[in-house]
Copies of this chain bind each other. A is one copy, B any other.
Amino acid sequence: MTALDALADVVGSAACLTAPDDIAPYAVDWRGNYRGTPAAVVRPGSTAEVAEVVRRAAGAGLAIVPAGGRTGLCGGAVVSANGPAAVVLSLERMNRIRSIDARDFSIVAEAGCVVQNVQQAAAEANRLFPIQWGAQGTAQIGGMLSTNAGGIRTLRWGNARELVLGLEVVLPDGRVLDDLRRVRKDNSGYALRHLFIGGEGTLGIITAAALRLQPAIKRMETAFVAVPSPDAALSLFGRMQASGADVIAFEICGGFCMEIASRHGVGLRVPLPLGSPWYVMVEIAAAHESVPLRDMLEQTLGEAMEAGEVTDASLAESEAQRLGIWKIREDFPECARKNGPSVNTDTAVPVSAVPQFLERAEREMRARWPAGRMVAIGHMGDGNIHVALQAPADWAGSRADWSVHAHDAEPLINEIAVSLGGSFSAEHGIGQSKRHAMVTHKSPVALDVMRQIKAALDPDGRMNPGKVLP
């Protein structure tokens, strides 16, 4: 029996793909930047099958690349082009919601569950699964956890990490770490789960998770606001928070972003005139019907206007208008792509350092690429701003031609963020694309401890080789 036959024997031949056409979609990452052909794509249907595949792959000297919805932006779910022979282990067939307990505000879902399905199951139980980001209709729970996904509501309910009560993980040696408990307090030894959350499959394969739910949101108020500067946006954010309103999203966008959205958006309507240097999208919410949200929002915006922090504001008057505001945010990446090639980053700084970060980024990018155009949009409430360097409007070259600037622009932005006490990788993870940044920006002590842990848990380096650690 060949190695691949031995794997097919575990999952059934229909779930072990080896034909080039079947494998092709798994051989390239979401952005099309990374390619690597797996020896096979293995799709186990149970935790026991995952464990057996891991054991047999190890016996055959094959590495394993775990994959979920494959919407990651850093090439973490494809085989490394220059790495050892590997199979992709796709969790897609493990897509059951094992249980939901409304009284307990918890849900147990398998790794292959699409994130949106978990949101929906929670909503049907009159509960909220709070994580929300663009790819939620395709991304899966396992990938969400392995990359510790963020999104627009992390300022209120945390990253994916904070939503986990318990995990089930298949270890590199094929043993199952069964810690799928739904307890909210547990201090019985080291918090192992936090190694696998955000570990991008390099220490083991998450097969299921017990997740926290929240009370359903009953009311929301959403405003699209023009502000004169990032500093004004920061003051508005502080004012909203200090008011005691429950702020569940606070996004900032440069004026140029709204030009781009107006130009390329399909079915988008920017609620305020173009021309403001910066805009903010803010949403407050209440789980209780009687909270006077509208008054709260109007009062705080009024005070901010008097203080000169806000120049104009449009409040959503209907659910359709509310969704219209968020559609601008969600469709923006696609609009930006249509507008021209760009070099993208994913940095975070302390919230109070956002104005300084943006000021320095703009100044240094302008000095270096006077014809380039700076795009800045992001989760101000988390300090996580996505700064990008777009090609000039009259750029005649290819995307690849412009992308050479990544070699300079990315380290520049990362360096500014890190020098302000920030992170060069806020919510997308490391994968393949940021391994070089780990060398540049991560402390050698932290890298060394990570390598010690990797060597302890996966001494043969079989789990997702070529990812995360440089």
Contact = CB atoms under 8 A, between A and B. Distances in A.
Contact of A445 (B177, B199, B352, B447): B177
A185 B244 contact: no
A181 B383 CA distance: 12
Interface in A431-470: 434, 437-438, 441-443, 445-447, 449-450, 452-453, 455-457, 468-469
A236 to B, nearest CB: 11
Task: Tell me which of A171, A189, A216, A289 has the highest count of chain B C-beta atoms within 10 A of its own C-beta.
Answer: A189
Contacts of A291: 244, 288, 290-292
B190 A195 contact: yes
Contacts of A384: 184-185
A455 B456 CA distance: 8
Contacts of A437: 188
A150 B245 CA distance: 26
A234 B290 CA distance: 23
A95 interface: no
Given A241-B105, A350-B101, A351-B104, A183 B428 contact: no
A452 B456 contact: yes
A296 interface: yes
Interface in A210-261: 215-216, 218, 234, 238, 241-246
Interface stretch (A22-30, A153-161, A402-410): A153-161
Q: How many copies does the complex hold?
A: 2
B350 A188 contact: no
A194 interface: yes
A178 B441 CA distance: 13
Interface string A160-198: 011000000001000111110111111111111011011
A351 B188 CA distance: 18
A288 B427 contact: no
A138 interface: no
Contacts of A31: none
10 contacts: A102-B238, A104-B351, A177-B449, A178-B445, A183-B348, A184-B351, A187-B198, A189-B438, A218-B244, A455-B456
A426 interface: yes
A425 interface: yes
B289 A192 contact: no
Interface stretch (A82-90, A367-375, A416-424): A416-424
Contacts of A427: 185, 187
